[in-house]
Amino acid sequence: MKALTTLIAMSGFLREYLTVLVFGAAAVAMVGAMLGAGSLLRPKRAQLQKYISYESGVDPVGTGWSQSQIRYYLFGLLFVMFEVETVFIFPWAVRLEDLGLFGLVEMVVFIAILALGLLYAWRKGVLRWM
């Protein structure tokens, strides 16, 4: 009972979260019940074929591990770098007018340095997609 009373006394702020909580719990309960009942009721005859990883019907070939192309990584890394750059540009953009010329020059320098990095990476052949 004590849990209930604290529940009511909670502030409005929490009540909104409460509804989200209840809604999520209901969904989980429903799906769980269905799958649970299924696994309980069906007979269990384990065969090897049943445990092959399902690759949309195609029989899997080779081991689970494969030589991943490095270039995917490189692009990922570059993306992270420039995405963080934008993190800094956002607050700058919000107060553009107040920052005036000083702000502009500083941001240009900021972007230029990062562009230099990109130029170096480009000359090093990182961007060549082969």
Partner 1 sequence: MSLDGSWYLCLAAAVFTIGAVGLLVRRNVLVMFMCVELMLNAVNLTLVTFARMLDDIGGQALVFFVLVVAAAEVVVGLGIIVAIFRRRVGATADDLHLLRG
Partner 2 sequence: MNGLPMNGLPMNGLLVAQAGQPEGLAPLELPNVEYSAMAPHLILIGGALVLLVWVAMVRRRPPWAWAAFTVAVGLASLGASWLMWLDVGRNGPRTAVADAVVVDGYSIFFMVLVSVIVVLGALMGESFLKREDIRGPEFYVLMLLSSSGAMFMASANDLVITFLGLEILSIALYVLAGLDNRRMESREAAIKYFVLGAFSSAVFLYGVALVYGATGSTNLGEIVGYLQSSVAPANGVLLAGVALLLVGFGFKVAAVPFHTWTPDVYQGAPSPVTGFMAAGAKAAGFAGLLRVFFATFDTLKLDWQPIVWVLAVATLLVGSVLAIVQEDIKRVLAYSSISHAGFVLIGLQAANEKGLAGSLYYLLTYAFMVLGSFTVVTLVGRKGDARHDLDAYRGLSARRPALALAFTVLLLAQAGIPFTTGFLAKFYVISAAVEGRSYSLALIGMLSSVVAAFFYLRITVLMYMSTDEEEAEEARTEPLAIPRSMAVVLAVSVAFTVAFGLLPAPVIDFARDATLLI
83 near partner 2, rule: CB under 8 A: no
End-to-end CA distance of the chain: 67
8 Å CB contact between 92 and 107? yes
On whether the CB atoms of residues 81 and 117 are closer than 8 A, the answer is yes
Residue closer to partner 2 (CB basis): 78 or 99 = 99
Among partner 1, partner 2, none, residue 33 binds (CB under 5-8 Å by kind): none
Question: In this chain, which of 80, 94, 105, 119 binds partner 1, going by CB under 8 A?
Answer: 80
- Rounded CA-CA distance 68/73 in Å is 9
Beta bridge partners of 58: 55
Judged by DSSP in three states, 55 sits in strand
Residue from 14, 94, 105, 111 that binds partner 2 (CB under 8 A)?
A: 94
Binding mask 37-66 for partner 1 (x = CB under 8 A): --------------------------x-x-
Closest CA to 129 of 84, 70, 57: 70
Within residues 6-35, the interface with partner 2 by CB under 8 A covers none
Which residue ranges make up the site for partner 2 (CB under 8 A)? 91, 94-95, 98-99, 102-103, 113, 116-117, 119-120, 122-124
